[in-house]
Amino acid sequence: MKPAIIATNLAKYYNTGKENEVRALDGVSFEVATGDLVAIIGPSGSGKSTLMHILGVLDKAQKGSLTIGDVIVEKAPRKQLPRIRAREIGFIFQGFNLLSTLTAVENVAEAAVYTGNSRRESLAKATKILEDVGLGDRLHNFPNQLSGGQQQRVAIARALVNNPTIILGDEPTGELDTVNAGKIMDLLVALNRDRGQTIILVTHNLEVAERCNTIITMRDGKIADIRRKGNHA
Amino acid sequence: MQIFRSIVRRPSRSILTALGIAIGIFALVVVGALAERINLIVNGGIEYYSSRILVQEGSNSGNLFRVADPIKLDKLGDIRAVPGVRAAYPEIVTLFPDANRSGASFGQPPFIIGRDAAANANDPRPLAIRAGRDFRTGERGVAVLGEDLQKQLGVKIGETTIISGSTFIIVGVYEKNFTINDTAAVMPLADAQLLYKRATANPSTDNAPVTDLASQITVFVAEGVDPTQLAKDINQAVGNVKALDPDTFRAQVQESARLFNTIVFGAALIALLIGSLSVINTMVMAVAERTREIGIRKAIGASDGRVLRDFLAEAAVIGLLGGLMGLFFGELLIQYINLRTATNGSALFQVTPRLLVGSYGFSVVLAMLAGLGPAIKAARMLPIDALNRER
Ligand SMILES: Nc1ncnc2c1ncn2[C@@H]1O[C@H](COP(=O)(O)OP(=O)(O)OP(=O)(O)O)[C@@H](O)[C@H]1O
Ligand SMILES: [Mg+2]
């Protein structure tokens, strides 16, 4: 099967040429098979978030090439990028990044509106998916009226609502206790198994990492190790 | 709906934004209303002369604010006989030398004007009474002061003052109209003739009876008659006179109102500047504050165009509401000041429809334009840059 993501020699430097130059990503190449469940681990500052942002088309690499599905991102016209973000990718931020002026259901529906659903369809989809993540009774709460774990689940629901081919989670269980982190992982593992969605997670939690099929270890902006287990090539 | 939600969920931010725009419009409306008022008065001055012709002795220069050589009143009959003349009244205009000239109004000297009570009553553009009353036919020893002169002399209605050695009771004050009347003590013709006779030792008038004295004859133009043409007709029909038409005076009125206009224009310019800066600053801040939100929307797939549209729609709503607020408080302040000043004369501000529509439209459009630049910039940012933007 065609890979979901091909990254070739991706690089991102901050403060290039200055004394405080940082090579956040320094020539990163790897492939993610469609339907894989990948964990990215590594010490703080090793470039995990930088990589995720580039994979999510939220940021641009300065060098290298990135292919998502059929699209070569750096060659795609500017106008196509919002479409990729909306349809191909569901991004779960570590800090949730919910819109504070919208309720839980509206936050999730907002993403559905961007793929061309009517408001009413979007709200229906959002309600359904929030029920799936166990927030059926918190639909109309604003983010500041929800616990950290509940906000995290809203953010996950938002990433899922457009049924993207790739789900990217930057420490999606980081804010959660072990019990809730386990529940979220159960959900993601089920999505990966049942719907075949490709999932890449950044995590510091080794239990979470161990539930993935591929574990990529980063160090100093480079990939230090890729460990695959099971039948994923 | 999203737009209103976003406005309502952030009441303090929305109110502050609206307030910034409100202050802009407020400044525009208040100073604008002052300018409109002045404009009205100056136009009033021009209009004052538009319906009259002044006939002076042929040797005169024709400057409104100069004292003319006396004219012989035997010419009154000839002038009245010229077709197109509705009415003609003799008038005395002479300097008021003993009025304290400190703080005089824009260099225009104080005058003594004598005219028939009937002249102002029949005037198509009569002088408006600001306080007190006009003098009546047959009345003597009374005077009505122009607004500037009254302020300068500091006399109140009902008090007496000495004008060229005679005592007069001040019965009223005329509203300012940017004419010679503003710095004049206007009195019955007969009183002025006596003062004039006393003050001028002029061989050509020394033998004339005091009732024949005048410095000019004011002619009111009949309905539908071209004053310029009539002035020419009078010059031809009556010998050795100089008939001055409204065009001659327009420039003189504008000249005397020029400093005033400059001040008002400057004030309006400052108001425009403050108003615009307030609006622009408000909108730029509003976009900056929302860069993170824009980043989130873009990260989950909003197109640049969509972000921009939503933002501008919201800006428009806040702009329209803030604008209404500004209009409301501007109008409130104006009403209040007008009420306070109305007790001693005329209103200070003039709120015109064009002013309201103009400042409202200007500010709302400016708000949208001011928001547009930074909003486009924010909408085109990489999502991650917008998200990482510090506030
Ligand atoms: N905007 C920026 N400007 C300068 N340096 C940056 C910027 N963003 C990230 N960096 C640097 O790039 C490197 C990689 O950062 P990144 O956030 O990708 O690390 P990370 O692996 O996600 O760390 P953590 O586990 O703490 O989240 C770090 O050294 C960081 O300081
Ligand atoms: Mg990180």
| CB-CB contact of A145 with A105 (8 Å) | no
Mean pLDDT score of chain B, rounded to an integer?
83
Tell me the residue type at A40.
I
Mean pLDDT for chain A overall:
92
Q: Which of residues 32-71 of A touch B (CB under 8 A)?
A: 53, 56, 58-60
ipTM above 0.90, yes or no: yes
User: What pLDDT is attached to residue A232?
Assistant: 45
Whether B383 contacts chain A with CB within 8 A: yes
pLDDT surpasses 80 at B208:
no
Are the beta carbons of B5 and A101 separated by less than 8 Å? yes
Tokens for B309? 């549209």
Which has more pLDDT, A63 or B372? A63
Please indicate whether residue B41 or residue B77 has the higher confidence score (pLDDT).
Answer: B77
Cα B254 to Cα A140: distance, rounded to the nearest angstrom = 67
What percent of chain B has pLDDT above 70?
90
8 A C-beta contact, residue B123 and residue B141:
no
The pLDDT of residue B390: 63
Instruction: Check if B242 contacts A (Cβ < 8 Å).
Output: no
**Spatial contact of A107 and A99, defined as CB atoms under 8 Å apart:** yes
Residue of A nearest to B293 (CA): A99
Residue linked to tokens 């300012």: B176
The whole-number pLDDT of residue B106 equals 45
Q: For residue A58, count other CB atoms closer than 10 A to its CB.
A: 24
Rounding to the nearest 10 degrees, give the CA dihedral for residues B59, B64, B65, B70.
Answer: 40
Host H or E run for residue B166: strand B166-174
**Smallest Cβ distance to A60: which of B296, B303, B382?**
B382
- pLDDT category of residue B73 using cuts at 50, 70 and 90: confident
pLDDT tens digits for range A143-191: 999 988 899 899 999 999 999 999 999 988 877 788 878 888 888 899 8
Percent helix, strand and coil across chain B, each to the nearest 5: 60, 15, 25
Could you tell me the two tokens for B337? 């000041």
Model pLDDT, residue B104: 42
Question: Which range (B200-214, B293-307, B345-359) has the least confidence?
Answer: B200-214
- Least confident span in B62-76, B136-150, B189-203, B346-360: B62-76
For residue B15, how far is the Cα from the chain centroid? 35
Can you tell me the mean pLDDT for B72-95? 90
Q: How far is CA B112 from CA A33, A51, B187, in A?
A: 103, 91, 8
Tokens 């906000």 sit on residue: A151
B24-38 average pLDDT score: 81
Q: What share of chain A is helix, strand, coil (3-state, %, to 5)?
A: 35, 25, 35
Which pLDDT value is given to residue A233? 42
Smallest CA separation from ligand 1 atom 27, residue: A44
CB of residue A20 inside a 6 A radius of ligand 1:
no
Cβ of B387 within 8 Å of Cβ of A83? The answer is no
Alpha carbon distances (Å) from B84 to A32, A211, B55, B77, B124: 101, 108, 14, 14, 15
Strand partners, A72: A67
Alpha carbon of A203 to ligand 1 centroid (Å): 15
Residue A136, both tokens: 């059926």
Say whether A82 and B10 touch across the interface (CB within 8 A): no
Would you say the C-alpha torsion A206, A208, A211, A216 has a positive or negative sign? negative
pTM, to two decimals: 0.70
More confident of the two residues A184 and A54:
A54
Give the separation between CA B117 and CA B62, rounded to whole angstroms. Answer: 24
Residue appearing with tokens 């019955």: B188
Higher pLDDT, B5 or A7: A7
Both tokens of B298, joined, read 């873009």
